Amino acid sequence: MRYLIKSLSIILLLVLSSSFRVKYPNITHTISIKIENIRNTKGTMQLQLYQSQKAFAAETPYKTIRISKENVSDNTLYYKIKGLAQNTYGVALLDDENNNKEMDYGLFFPAEGFGFSDYYHTGWSKPTFHDFKFFLKKDKTVRMKVRYM
């Protein structure tokens, strides 16, 4: 009898402990991007996803995505980044017109376009991550207006 009570107690304990475990599904989100003010269809758009000021300053993105410009219509292009976990992100953009995967410069200024998530940079120096970051807790749409100098 003692063995039966002990066995039942263990089984009951296991059942109760397993019922308190919360199983969270692997929830991911999507960033829908509207890129505006694209001056031509040469080259590709390069999106870089950052998660911190340190990574942005070091130019080490969490993710880099190259997008064909073949679907540009009315100087606008749409793209979705899917499967992102809840976190802080910022999206930087390079209009890489010659496909060399880096910003080209003229005499002093960038020769190719650039942009940032929900932030139009008008300064002469590089913005900070704080200027264009956001916290992704649900699907989000961001607007990026390409600036050419």
Q: Is the pTM of this model over 0.75?
A: yes
pLDDT at 22: 47
pLDDT at 108: 87
Does the pLDDT at position 101 exceed 70?
yes
Does the pLDDT at position 129 exceed 80?
yes
Percentage with pLDDT > 70 across the chain? 83
pLDDT at 34: 98
Alpha helices, DSSP H, located in 20-113: 53-58
Q: d(Cα 77, Cα 144) in Å, to the nearest integer?
A: 10
Summarize the confidence of residues 135-149 as an average pLDDT. Answer: 98
Residue with tokens 């005499």: 107
Amino acid at site 142: V
